[in-house]
Structure 1
Amino acid sequence: MDQMVKDFKISCTNCSLDEICLPRGLSQQEVENLSIEVKNNISVQKGEYIYRQGDEFNMIVAIKSGSAKLVSSDDQGNEHILNVLLPGELIGFEGLFQNKYSCSAIALENLSFCALPADKFDALCAKIPGIARELLKHSSETLNESQNQVMAGTSSAEEKVARFLLNLSDRLSKRGYSSVQFNITLTRQEIGEHLGLTLETVSRTLKQFQNDGFLKVQRRHIEITNLQGLLNIHSGLSE
């Protein structure tokens, strides 16, 4: 049994994330061809960089386990948290266009990922036409998320925090995790930076949601006890 486990290797053909990762729209043969080139289960520790803003583009990354944050630094050196990354999500493909990364990816906890090397990309696109299509889909989803974030800029603090929680809930649910109980790997300060709120406002809003019976909060653990209540706040239907 031990030898069987040792010899068993995770690849694109047997990965549990195949429905939400890059292979989701590929044929079985295309997935097998892709699996040959993908480097599996690369590990980084909490706080380490997967790649840095400005680095030469060298890989497309699929988060395998753990979570990360996508961070962009402006000309003044101020950091802006663009997104929280979950298992099955792809990052780094924006580097295809300028041959360098436009933001940094940092592990929020011990994390493993798979990598499609950049020097294999052109040959793979010729061999597996579906890869380019799937990357465009992921790129479109990322653009839509960025547009939603911008549109939420004028929302109230309650609406922003509700949207953040609901977004995590929905994405975790699609990955087979609980949609109502999860840990937030961002600190309150980082949530505030991501949403354009102060640390105090984030803490106060979470406490308000708990007092209103929408949540149970214990440090970084969240339990959503009234999903419809959060949906109403997000939709601006609350009083």
Structure 2
Amino acid sequence: MAKFTRTDNCKNCVDCNKKIPLFQLLSQSELTDLNTSRFEVKFKAGETIFKQGTSATHLLIITSGLAKFYVEGVQERQLIIRIVKPWEVVGQASLYFDNRHHYSVAALVDCTACFIEIESFKKMIRQNSAFAEEFITQCTQKGVFSYEKMVSLSQKQMHGRIADGILYLSKKIYESNQFSLHLSRQDIADLTGMSKDSAIRILKEFHHEGIIELDGRNLNVLNTDQLERISETG
């Protein structure tokens, strides 16, 4: 069950100023104002943080742990858009549209999340042009990532999509060739747009071909060049 709390990990927005480049553009008084409209919640692995279709009143910053950002489609199937790491701002799509979440966010591991009131965040955008410009830049980067993902899902074969998924996890999320997966096999399937059985089969093929080493949740990328070739050829 989610718990409201204030921890040493997230005492106030002034502390976050040291960890989030976006917040470094705010003045001391602006950070103090932002701090009055925020709260912190702890989530257990598997718990829902945002639910698609619900009213959006706050932006989210994961301060510890990992979460999956996904959309719920036909017949309750999920498509994981990306993995959310600490200090990423989530919820921008709800700022100036219809004040609803068009995606869900769920904890992959035990997480701590800071919620910032949308109206307070919009106030910072209106009064601080440097903050607004950096925020727009970050939104644009996420948009470009989504375009690239659409190309992968719509134009690549399953082997290319699995290769893309492994490279994404290795380079962007865990930043290592060897890591312990916090995603289930179903999550990997949802990340790469295929059935669970297909994802498991291709992972086993990569393992037997010496491209990766897979032992339970432990994954080791043995041949990055080969993965990149598979990604490029689709």
Q: Classify the TM-score, shorter chain.
A: 0.7 to 0.9
**Using the alignment, how far apart are the partners of 2:76 and 2:194 within structure 1?**
19
Aligned pairs for 1:14-53 (under 5 A) are: 14-15=15-16, 17-19=19-21, 22-23=22-23, 26-27=24-25, 29-30=26-27, 33-34=30-31, 36-38=33-35, 39=38, 41-53=40-52
In 2 relative to 1, CA 133–53 (structure 1 residues): closer, same or farther, beyond 3 Å? same
In 2 relative to 1, CA 201–122 (structure 1 residues): closer, same or farther, beyond 3 Å? closer
The aligned counterpart of 2:81 is 82
Tell me, yes or no, if structure 1 residue 157 matches structure 2 residue 158. Answer: yes
Preserved CA contact (<8 Å) 1:12 1:18: no
In the alignment of these two chains, the number of paired residues is 223
1:234 maps to amino acid: S
SS in 2 for 1:100: coil
TM-score w.r.t. length of structure 2:
0.82
TM-score w.r.t. length of structure 1:
0.81
By how many angstroms is 1:14 displaced? 4.2
Aligned pairs for 1:1-239 (under 5 A) are: 10-15=11-16, 17-19=19-21, 22-23=22-23, 26-27=24-25, 29-30=26-27, 33-34=30-31, 36-38=33-35, 39=38, 41-74=40-73, 76-96=75-95, 97-152=97-152, 153-172=154-173, 178-236=175-233
**Using the alignment, how far apart are the partners of 1:86 and 1:110 within structure 2?**
12
**Using the alignment, how far apart are the partners of 1:204 and 1:189 within structure 2?**
12
In 2 relative to 1, CA 31–74 (structure 1 residues): closer, same or farther, beyond 3 Å? farther
* Structure 1 runs (4+) greater than 4 angstroms displaced: 6-16
**Using the alignment, how far apart are the partners of 2:98 and 2:181 within structure 1?**
32
By how many angstroms is 1:10 displaced? 4.7
Root-mean-square deviation (CA, aligned residues, Å) is: 2.6
The aligned counterpart of 2:4 is none
Point out where structure 1 has 5 or more consecutive residues left out of the alignment.
Answer: 1-5
Q: Percentage identity across aligned positions?
A: 24
